[in-house]
Structure 1
Amino acid sequence: MKANLEFLQQSPEFWANVRTISQEIGYTDRKTKNILIPSRAQLHKAFSKLNLSLEKIENTSGELTDFGETLFKYFEYRSDVLSNFARQNLMDKDEAEEVFTSLYNTLSPTCPLPMNKQKGDKRNYSYLTGMVNMLIESNLDGIPCDYDPRSLTTVTHENMPLRTLSRRVDGALPSVVNPIAIWEIKEYYYTTTFGSRVADGVYESLLDGMELRELSNAGHRKIYHMLIIDSYFTWWTCGRSYLCRIIDMLHMGYLDEVIFGKEVVTRLPELVTIWKKQISDNEYQTDLK
């Protein structure tokens, strides 16, 4: 999914309020386990506790300002898109294996299909990564792709490094040097709790997005930044608050797209078609000018 344009151009002040309210009131309802939409009463209580002013959110008559209206509309949107879209696309291990096997039998891939890091009976393909690689390969028409970058993403100018990202990504098109698109894959089919490693993955994506924005703000060609995640238990049962953070990052402009689980089957071919056209239209250059 891509960002909702209504919320994409909001100010840093807007996102400061989103984060503060979410942190103080909570991301999920403890009783219903649903994504929480804060009430006005909860907002008043939270801001009073933090000794913060509501002046930006409501006027002296207690009516919501335009800023406040947008703020509450965003909380409603975030809850709706996660509950009725992301949740429906997240898969468990058995579902992921079924989709992976179907693609494997249909596409006869030659791209890398890495194994997971599990042992014993849990040792198998990294299903989501395999799906991503197969779907990209089958739609590239021979254009090169780095399915497993072993070095940092680098942008060059006059054949010299201009910017180098802090982290390795999980894939880059057509190369980890001057890519037009990079992606990160977070699949956790075998986890039994929401641990720090999963949380770190969210903030790693934030770091990449901040570095890419700095590059874009400096006037250089945009690199498409995508996050692909799966595992119903990890992300929905245990990690709904981090799904909220991911939706926030998307609308803050640090991600261009988030793909949830089986959404890869329909969305990735569309994206590869767009990227191929960029290359054919000479929008891609091997060196930034």
Structure 2
Amino acid sequence: MKGIDKWLALGWRHPMWDVHRFYLSLAKKKKYQKEWLEELRAEKRIALPDGSELPIDQKTVDLFFDYYGDRNKLFEEALALLRTEEEALEYCAKNNISVLKTATKSQDHHQSSKSMIAAVTHTASQVCAAKGLALEPDPQARCVWCNDHDLHVSARNLDGAIPGLANPSVVWEIKEYWGKTGGGSKMSDAVYECHLVGLELREFESRGGKNITHIVFIDGKHQWATRKSDLRRLIDLMNQV
């Protein structure tokens, strides 16, 4: 999946995204959130925590309300694309892809497969080989970018880079979560990690760095379905790059 051109064209600095984030911060106050929406639509302003009010221009208000239709549509599409672990393993078996497991100390815990990691590595290797490109499928260090004016080092080790860890043009992260229980806070952590990496890349680009493609692969139908707010936040990030 990719973001919708209309929202991508806004850019991640557009004030609509700040209004949107403020709205999301009110999620636990449903009655107030509803009143906040009504005031924004009717009065073109929002109430701030200190009691003051901030006027919002008509264009930003219209964009804010328009975005929710697309957001909900993309969320449903993303949810439908997610697989069970059995489906992911079946795909790997069909394509003769070897799959490792994430071992845990306690055998009582679900021993999750690394089926998405295996599939992404397999596909990336084939594409790079066909195009004569180098590939780093399992980075054990940070990615580094530099130009005549600046240096940027990724906030964490990423899950893949093309052509390598020095000045890659494509990087990716993989967030696959399997198991029989709910997703838990690790899903929120995944969103924060992707947001941090993506934000820092966009800031580096704005300082004169070359454009970098940042891809996020997610999977795990059951676990993401129990953390719908986190999945929606990934949809937001996808539309801001």
TM-score range, shorter chain: 0.7 to 0.9
Residue 80 of structure 1, CA deviation? 1.1
Query: What is the alpha-carbon root mean square deviation over aligned residues?
Result: 2.9
Amino acid at match of 1:147: P
Deviations 1:237-277 (A, max 9, x none): x1111112111112222xxxxxxxxxxxxxxxxxxxxxxxx
* Secondary structure of the corresponding residue to residue 190 of structure 2: helix
Asked if residue 149 in structure 1 is aligned to residue 135 in structure 2, the reply is no
**What is the distance in 1 between the residues matched to 2:112 and 2:16?**
44
The sequence identity of aligned pairs, in percent, is 26
Check if 1:252 corresponds to 2:240: yes
How far residue 16 of structure 1 moved from its aligned partner, in angstroms, is: 1.1
Does structure 1 residue 100 correspond to structure 2 residue 92? yes
**SS of alignment partner, residue 145 of structure 2:** strand
Cα separation, 1, equivalents of 2:39 and 2:221: 33
Q: Which of 233, 237, 251 is 2:222 aligned to?
A: 233
Task: Report the counterpart of residue 268 of structure 1 in structure 2.
Answer: none
Q: How big is each residue's C-alpha offset from its partner over 1:161-200, in whole Å with a ceiling of 9 and x where there is no partner?
A: 9321121001111111111100000010116123222211
1:42–1:25 Cα change, 3 Å: farther
Aligned to 2:24: 22
Deviation at 1:15, TM superposition (A): 0.9
TM-fit CA distance, 1:133:
0.8
Task: Identify the match of residue 116 of structure 2 among 102, 110, 128.
Answer: 128
Instruction: Indicate which of 193, 204, 211 corresponds to 1:222.
Output: 211
TM-score (norm 2): 0.82
CA distance in 2 between counterparts of 1:194 and 1:133 reads: 24
Q: Deviations over 1:83-123 (max 9, x none)?
A: 1x10110011111111121122xxx67xxx54323465954
2:210 and 2:84 map into 1 onto residues whose CA distance is 37
- Counterpart contact for 2:36–2:47, Cα < 8 Å: no
Is the contact between residue 96 and residue 127 of structure 1 (CA under 8 Å) also seen in structure 2? Answer: yes
What is the TM-score normalised by the length of structure 1? 0.69
Distance 1:55 1:99 in 2: 52
Written as runs of structure 1 = structure 2, the 5 A alignment for 1:154-165 is 154-157=144-147, 162-165=151-154
**Structure 2 residue matching 1:186: 3-state secondary structure:** strand
1:117 aligns with 2:103: yes
User: Aligned AA for 1:148?
Assistant: D
Q: Is the alpha carbon distance of 1:99 and 1:24 closer, same or farther for their aligned partners in structure 2, counting shifts above 3 Å?
A: same
* Structure 1 Cα separation of the partners of residues 180 and 140 of structure 2: 25
What secondary structure is seen at the aligned counterpart in 2 of 1:116? coil
- Alpha-carbon distance in 1 for matches of 2:223, 2:172: 20
Aligned-partner residue type, residue 75 of structure 1:
Y
Output one character per residue of 1:189-243: Cα deviation in whole Å (capped at 9) or x when no partner: 116123222211111111111221122111121111011101111112x111111
Preserved CA contact (<8 Å) 2:146 2:209: no
